[in-house]
């Protein structure tokens, strides 16, 4: 299982999203995702988050909130433990990203873009700023979400 970070940088009522259209054989190809990537050796979640945001966007994280952990399980891709952050305290200017196109997207409009189904769950969780730290397990068959477990409780409903 790999460790990754995912940061949702907020300005006004928008998140800075990455439209992943530049890399081949990409787990997130053509999807819109937050900013992040894989841990380097001996990095903490906070260090990885700050580094990935800087590398992908040119922005410096002044302060980020560690919001939760998502266990991503797939029958196609390697499993991930995704450390979820939000940030609205940053500085710098946005640069061009070699992994896709960066764009400020109104939060309500994100749900109509091509995103992972499970992202809709944790996006709603992070929008509730009073929501405590969460643990979410998402299981996929291909790109179909078949199971969602939030803080140990099955919330899958009619996913299958």
* pLDDT digit string (tens) for the chain, length 160 residues: 999 999 999 999 999 999 976 666 666 767 899 999 999 999 999 999 999 999 999 999 999 999 999 999 999 989 999 999 999 999 999 999 988 899 999 999 999 999 999 999 999 999 988 889 999 999 999 989 999 999 999 998 755 4
Residue 160 inside a domain? The answer is: no
Q: Given this model, what pLDDT does residue 156 score?
A: 84
Q: Which domain holds residue 75?
A: 2-154
Provide the CB-side half-sphere exposure for 10 (13 A, CA). 15
Q: Would you say residue 31 lies in a domain? A: yes
Nearest of 46, 117, 111 to residue 83 by alpha carbon:
46
pLDDT of residue 152: 94
Give a yes or no: residue 129 inside a domain: yes
pLDDT for position 160? 47
108 in a domain, yes or no?
Answer: yes
Return d(Cα 142, Cα 145) in angstroms, integer: 8
Segment holding 139, helix H or strand E: strand 134-141
Q: What is the pLDDT of residue 111?
A: 94
Tally the domains of the chain. Answer: 1
Q: At 45, which CATH number? A: 3.90.79.10
Q: Is residue 50 part of a domain?
A: yes
Helices and strands counted in the chain (H then E): 3, 10
pLDDT at 128: 87
Which residue bears the tokens 């797939």?
A: 74
Distance of CA 68 to the CA centre of its chain: 11
Residue 16 is assigned to a structural domain of this protein: yes
């Amino acid at each position: 299982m790999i460790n990754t970070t995912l940061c949702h940088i907020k300005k006004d009522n928008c998140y800075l999203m990455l439209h992943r259209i530049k890399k081949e054989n990409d787990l997130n190809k053509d999807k819109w995702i937050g900013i992040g990537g894989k841990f380097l050796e001996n990095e903490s979640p906070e260090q990885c988050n700050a580094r990935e945001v800087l590398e992908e966007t040119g922005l410096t994280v002044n302060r980020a909130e560690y919001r939760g952990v998502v266990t991503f399980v797939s029958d196609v891709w390697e499993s991930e433990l995704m450390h979820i952050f939000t940030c609205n305290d940053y500085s710098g200017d946005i640069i061009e990203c070699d992994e896709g196109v960066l764009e400020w997207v109104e939060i309500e409009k994100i749900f109509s873009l091509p995103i992972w189904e499970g992202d809709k769950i944790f996006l709603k969780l992070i929008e509730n700023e009073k929501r405590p730290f969460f643990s979410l397990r998402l299981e996929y068959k291909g790109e179909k979400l078949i199971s969602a477990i939030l803080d140990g409780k099955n919330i899958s409903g009619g996913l299958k």
